[in-house]
Amino acid sequence: MVTSPASPKDAAVRATPLLDLVIEAFRPERVQATGIKIVTLGLLLWGWLTIDNFLSPTNINAIMYSMAAVGIAAVGMAFITLSGNLFMLSMGATAAISTVIFASILHIGLLPTVVIVMLIGALIGLVQGIIVGVAGANPIIATIAISSIVMGFGAYYSGGLTIVGQGDATWLAVGKFFSILPNQVVLFFAIAIAADFIVQRSRFGLELRLIGLNRDAATLAGLRIGRSLVIAFVVAGMLAALSGALFASQAAQGNLKLGAGIDFDAIAAVLVGGVSIRGGHGRIVDAAFGAAFLAVVGNILLVEGLPIEVQLAVKGLVVILAVVFGALVGGKRR
């Protein structure tokens, strides 16, 4: 059977989707998100070429486990940032108290424990959503205040002690999907993809991004601002609690120090990934890639034997550079 060669016009038609993807990736508001993906791949390649056993199964597992909990929290934080409310600074407290609750009720079974922990996280998020989204309070002040209340309740509940879990959390702690990917990472990927689809394709997601772009215009347009912000905070609270459950499952215990610093890690992932600090611009998967980038950077610094002080300084520098770059790109876009 003889087929005629494809015409240049047919080739152009087939190339159009790929060209559209390239154009989309390098639009001004997508440059940072695209750059982080490229840099992450570059760091993996550099680590493979220069660090012994960098791509060994043990080290890759270490990277993935460090990425999962932070990535899930970053997905939740991205909902808040996209809405134009900057950050939810109670995430660390929510994750911390979740570790305590997780350990204290693990004996009832892993699945019901995770469900209860996430429901408590949703309740914490609901309170903040009402205060910020309905009452119109400042999100930074409100979430810091809620953080203090949550930590106080956590100290009362635990008596300031570490609680050792009496149950089996193996599936969540070290279990692997088809003996390949850690269950924690599969959970992270599934949450990130589902959340990105919802934000990009649903009415709620459209309203959330429009609120982040211009809240006054969204009000005049009759958008459901209070409802959308409450949902965003509920989702963020649930995912912060789930992050705490991941920490507790790996440590086989719960205390108020576990997960307490996840606020900054989640913020770093969101900003480095390319979500605009002003709100409205960016995607949930950008925050997920930001978490992957930070996990790779942290692992390289760790295997190179650099002290924790240097690791913290590098993380802070990366966030500053991301904010400055985002401001420059935002200025050009306007």
pLDDT per position as a tens digit, 260-316:
889 999 999 999 998 988 888 899 999 999 999 999 999 998 888 888 888 888 888
Confidence category of residue 10, pLDDT binned at 50, 70, 90: low
Q: What is the mean pLDDT of residues 187-202?
A: 96
| pLDDT tens column, 12-37 | 445 566 555 565 555 656 788 888 89
Select from 2.30.230, 1.10.3470, 1.25.40, 1.10.287 the CATH code of 32-333. Answer: 1.10.3470
Confidence category of residue 322, pLDDT binned at 50, 70, 90: confident
Q: In terms of pLDDT, which residue wins out, 322 or 54?
A: 54
Distance CA 106, CA 173 (A): 13
Question: Can you give the three-state secondary structure of the chain, one letter per residue?
Answer: CCCCCCCHHHHHHHHHHHHHHHHHHCCHHHHHHHHHHHHHHHHHHHHHHHCCCCCCHHHHHHHHHHHHHHHHHHHHHHHHHHCCCCCCCCHHHHHHHHHHHHHHHHHHCHHHHHHHHHHHHHHHHHHHHHHHHHCCCCHHHHHHHHHHHHHHHHHHHHCCCCEECCCCCHHHHCCEECCCEEHHHHHHHHHHHHHHHHHHHCHHHHHHHHHHHCHHHHHHCCCCHHHHHHHHHHHHHHHHHHHHHHHHHHHCEECCCCCCCHHHHHHHHHHHHCCCCCCCCCCHHHHHHHHHHHHHHHHHHHHCCCCHHHHHHHHHHHHHHHHHHHHHHHHHHC
pLDDT averaged over the chain?
Answer: 88
pLDDT at res. 13: 47
pTM tops 0.75, yes or no: yes
Residue 201 pLDDT greater than 50, yes or no: yes
Confidence category of residue 92, pLDDT binned at 50, 70, 90: very high
Cβ 110 vs Cβ 167: under 8 Å: yes
Q: What is the mean pLDDT of residues 161-183?
A: 91
Q: In terms of pLDDT, which residue wins out, 333 or 177?
A: 177
Distance CA 255, CA 179 (A): 30
